[in-house]
């Protein structure tokens, strides 16, 4: 059974321009990567948790901000490694200047026997859709398209 993950693609309007919130993974493997490294705030969940509840929990863990508003389901997609990701969209103008992410520990430097703690998310940013398409992990780009389609006048 593939691992499952859920997250929130937050959006806001800056005047007429649509902007989306993406997060950059923390830790030494990602420190020098930018294009294709960003993601929606998301994380894994077990079969006994509903995807929307998991998405809200993960958003809080990765940003320090609770999402209490209405969310729209953007569906599911399979990432390159096989993980199934469910995304929800919500509109909010979250202040990202003081995001607070949960931490994880890993052996660093490799084979040193030393353990260091790193934030799961080291920064967040509001991006236009063209910028976001460059920044986001390629396997999550379809969520940007789905968001755009859901907000387009019918």
Give the CATH H-level superfamily of domain 4-151: Nucleoside Triphosphate Pyrophosphohydrolase (3.90.79.10)
Residue 108: is its pLDDT beyond 80? Answer: yes
Element (H, E) at 14: strand 4-14
Which residue ranges make up each domain of the chain?
4-151
Beta strands in 15-140 (DSSP E): 17-25, 42-44, 72-78, 84-91, 103-107, 115-119, 121-128
CA nearest to 116, candidates 33, 27, 23, 36: 27
pLDDT for 46-86, tens place per residue? 999 999 999 999 999 999 999 989 999 999 999 888 999 99
- The predicted model gives 11-37 an average pLDDT of 92
* Model confidence, pTM: 0.93
């Amino acid at each position: 059974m593939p691992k499952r993950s859920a997250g929130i693609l937050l959006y806001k309007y800056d005047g007429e321009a649509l902007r989306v919130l993406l997060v950059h993974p923390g830790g030494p493997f990602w420190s020098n990567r930018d294009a294709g490294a960003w993601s929606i705030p998301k994380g894994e969940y077990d079969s006994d948790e509903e995807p929307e509840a998991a998405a809200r929990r993960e958003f809080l863990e990765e940003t320090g901000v609770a999402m209490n508003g209405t969310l729209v389901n953007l569906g599911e997609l399979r990432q390159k490694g096989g993980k199934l990701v469910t995304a929800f969209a919500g509109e909010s103008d979250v202040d990202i200047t003081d995001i607070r992410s949960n931490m994880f520990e890993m052996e660093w430097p490799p084979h040193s026997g030393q353990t260091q703690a790193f934030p799961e998310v080291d920064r967040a940013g509001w991006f236009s859709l063209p910028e976001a398409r460059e920044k986001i992990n390629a396997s999550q780009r379809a969520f940007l398209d789905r968001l755009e389609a859901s907000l387009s006048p019918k």
